[in-house]
Structure 1
Amino acid sequence: MHFILEPAAEEFLVYDVKEKPRDVITVAKWLDKNTLDIVTPSLIAPHPNTYTYSKRLAESLVAEEVENIPVSIIRPSIVIPAVEEPLPGWVDSLNGPVGLIVGAGKGVIRSMHCKGENRGQFIPVDYAVNTGIVVAYLIGTGQVKSKEMPVYNLTQDVLLQLTYREILNLGRTISHEYPFEMQIWYPDGDMRSSKLVHNIYSIFFHWLPAILIDFIMILCGQKTFMIRIQKKIYNGLELLDFFSTREWYFKSEKFLALNEYLTEEDKKVFQMSDFLKFPLEEYLTTALLGTRQYCLKEDLSSLPRCRQKQKM
């Protein structure tokens, strides 16, 4: 199944919405929580969750003001650790692929429902921030003018095409070389394109080990934690299903063309689309070590000890 997220016939387009954003806001204020929970599935369809639905409403709301104030929309794809700023590999959240890296690296994620041949769409966090600054400047100073809403899709896919399978294989090699602290199991696992097969693997490699570990913790008089962690992992993977099992295509030529407005000095300061600056393996290594240091607060001095534990 393939999705084109920006129609080819028009450069400046905002997705249509069935409802007016202000009407939805009014209804959400008026209805009580139980009633709102009941009507939400039919209201947001075909969106998989309120997160994507609310982003679409927000875009429509901003587009209504295009004739009144200078506005634009930038759509970052999957945000990943920084290339250079504020520090190489910097990240401060376990959302998205970073959480998967940590879960797999610590041995608690052994299976994911995903089609490995599908291409991934990514943007480093510093590239996304720099693009936001550049677009705000260009729109605010009137260098980019349009009667329609300027929309920029931020992704690496035009310059650097990567499948989920390629990223997994390379990430597995790097995580073995630079292991995390507190590994529950040897880091491994794989993607399964079949939901049924994934569920079977989840029972044997996610839920049963979690139950066993918590049972041992109870016998030792300690606080249980594994089932709680697996519930969070299960809910997170369920949210990703809609995106990880579909192929997504973004038109990002307008984003890449932003460099034409910058001087050579500006390009050095506001790097946005130099996805080939570092080899992929070098970037992923930096990203994993950045996650280890800045997100998990695990000092790099513990690497030798973690490698010994992983071998055992």
Structure 2
Amino acid sequence: MSSDIQDYYRNKTVFVTGGTGFMGIVLIEKLLRATEVKRIYMMVRPKAGKSIEERLTNFCQNVLFEKMRNTGVTLTDRVHVILGDCQAPKLGISVEDRKALIAEVNVVFHLAATVRFDEPLQKALNINVRATLELLELAKEMRNLEAFVHVSSAFANCVVHSIDEKYYVNKLGIGAVQMCELADSLSNETTNKLATVFCAEYKNTYTFTKSLAEEAVLTVGRALPISIFRPAIVVPTYKEPVTGWAGNFYGPTAALYASARGVLRVMQMRTEHRAHLVPADSCASLMLAIGWETARSDQRQRLNLAPPIYNYTNDDENPLLWKQYVKTITDFGPIMPIAQMIWFPFMITVGEKWLYDILTFFYHTIPGYIIDFLLTLKGKRKRMTKLYRSIHKLTGATEYFIVTEFTFTMDNTKSLWDSLSTIDKEIFNFDMRSINWREYLEFSLAGMRLYLAKEGPETVARAQKMYRRFKILHQLLRALLIGLFAFLVWIVASKLFL
């Protein structure tokens, strides 16, 4: 049997923004491994004193490409970097590179974005909105463009709690072009202050600007062969090309690592709520399928219909609740601990903010000051109180999304899945119903050890020994504190009643 998706991407030229990011790397690896794509143009900016050529070399050395490297494939034969910057006018792309893109590109995947919730409004506008507008205008000049996939977020429209595959631009109060024009007429400082007005209902600059970018696609990009992909919380890979690959310290993976180290002990969450997690490799497969579907569906453009949206979240037929997530991680924690732990790893989850604040004071703040005091006595740099301030700042920014129950429809995504051939379903599997969540979470824990903690199988025995010792110390300390508390209560009661 032939693969329709593979046939489509054969000899195609693809332009990817955000290709060096977590999801971008997985997408490019899948393109190179599963299709015979002719060329991938990847927009990259210099970073940390490294040129774009040096960044390409580092990119190709990523563990995700190991299987391909072992086959003798030279990645740079098909991956070409071009200098660009989402914060620069016209994306910072040179005249010559623009000419190449205009003449050659068939498919665009726009993943570039700032995902920081606390980004200043001006910077978030430049990266998430203005860059999207610039790319849409560039796409209009591309002579051979067949598909444009804009990557948004399932939570971009968090002003509503039941989110369908449709636009919610009426909630914004302003359009993307108008917002950028307003920012141009003001100073950066004034624009950043406006966040309290424009982003109030959206809770942060990230969701507000991602929603604005969707409005840009609807209005400015409507005439293009374009679609929007809305993934939920993107987490480590499930099966491809390696299990449990985690490319960064964001989201649940960061919390998992901090908890495994014995640093993060209290989290605010509603454990009965749905955990809207989507594996990165499933996202890559779906993006490629969306590109194929967008290219072959010309009816929308003929009828001037709104660009389709594909939500991608936890499925009703195979749900994952946060309590299942926590229980599975707790079950596997003793089997795969990390040797970098500083105390016995445990997790307390609470739904109420007032209780969370009390518990973090006793389990985070006080231990943080004690550890820093001991570090000072040893002549070492204090770090725990600063770390806990960062953790609490992050949890404060995500509080709304943790305690609010969101529901999503995925009619377009499921229809796309149903339209695939048997061979395409095997090669480009994005069916959330097929995920064994317990197996996936075990892979994620092992991946966290290997890719974030940088600990291989050789450290497991030592880590398990440390785990048992810290568990005994933890139980002794808890018994001591309970005994001390009981003694204090007895002293107070004896003074009052005896």
Fold similarity call, TM over 0.5: yes
Q: 2:249 aligns with which of 83, 86, 94?
A: 94
| SS in structure 2 at match of 1:176 | coil
Amino acid at match of 2:446: L
Matched length: 307
**Which of 342, 348, 357 pairs up with 1:190?**
348
Counterpart in the other structure of 2:399: 241
Tell me how far 1:126 sits from its aligned partner: 0.7
Cα distance, 1:186 vs. partner? 0.9
**Is the 1:12–1:149 contact (alpha carbons within 8 Å) kept by the matching residues of 2?**
no
Answering whether residue 316 of structure 2 is matched by residue 161 of structure 1, we say no
Counterparts of 1:133 and 1:307 in 2: how far apart (Å)?
Answer: 41
Residue 132 of structure 1 pairs with residue 287 of structure 2 = yes
Take 1:261 and 1:163, find their aligned partners in 2: how far apart are those partners?
29
Select 1:25's aligned residue among 168, 180, 185: 180
Give a deviation string over 1:97-151, Cα, whole Å, max 9, x none. Answer: 1111111111111111211111111211111111111101110222673612201
Structure 1 segment 259-278 matched on structure 2, within 5 A: 259-277=417-435
**Percent of residue pairs bearing the same amino acid type:** 25
Give the superposition deviation at 1:253.
2.4
How far, CA to CA, are the matches of 1:264 and 1:34 in structure 2? Answer: 54
Partner residue of 1:72 out of 189, 204, 227: 227
The CA RMSD measured in Å over matched residues stands at 1.9
1:127 & 1:234 partners in 2: Cα distance?
A: 31
**C-alpha spacing 1:275/1:291, structure 2 compared with 1 (3 Å):** farther
Where structure 2 has 5 or more consecutive residues not aligned to the other structure, the ranges are: 1-159, 470-498
Amino acid at match of 1:41: T
Instruction: Tell me the CA shift for residue 238 of structure 1.
Output: 1.1
Letter paired with 2:185: W
Structure 1 residue ranges (4+ consecutive) displaced by more than 3 angstroms after TM superposition? 11-15, 143-146
Unaligned runs of 5+ in 1: none
Given candidates 368, 379, 391, the residue that maps to 1:221 is 379
Q: Is the 8 A contact 1:79 1:124 kept in 2?
A: yes
- What are the superposed Cα offsets for residues 227-280 of structure 1, whole Å, 9 maximum, x if unpaired? 121122111111221111011100012212212222111111111114434x32
Structure 2 CA distance for aligned equivalents of residues 54 and 274 of structure 1 = 28
Could you say which residue in structure 2 is the equivalent of 1:300? Answer: 457
Does residue 148 of the first structure (1) align with residue 303 of the second (2)?
A: no
Indicate conservation of the 8 Å contact 1:139/1:145, yes or no.
no
Residue in 2 that maps onto 1:209? 367
Larger RCO: 1 or 2 (CA < 8 Å, sep 6+): 1
- Alignment partner, residue 259 of structure 2: 104
Q: 2:202 aligns with which of 38, 47, 71?
A: 47
- In 1, Cα distance between equivalents of 2:452 and 2:186: 39
Distance 1:29 1:217 in 2: 48
Moved more, 209-218 or 179-188: 179-188
Pair 1:37-2:192 in alignment: yes
Deviation at 1:311, TM superposition (A): 0.6
* CA 1:67–1:47: 2 relative to 1, 3 Å: closer
Structure of higher CA gyration radius: 2
Question: In structure 2, what is the Cα distance between the partners aligned to 1:299 and 1:101?
Answer: 17
Counterparts of 1:237 and 1:174 in 2: how far apart (Å)?
A: 24
**1:3-42 deviation line (CA, Å, top 9, x unaligned):** 2012xxxx54454321111121122333223322322111
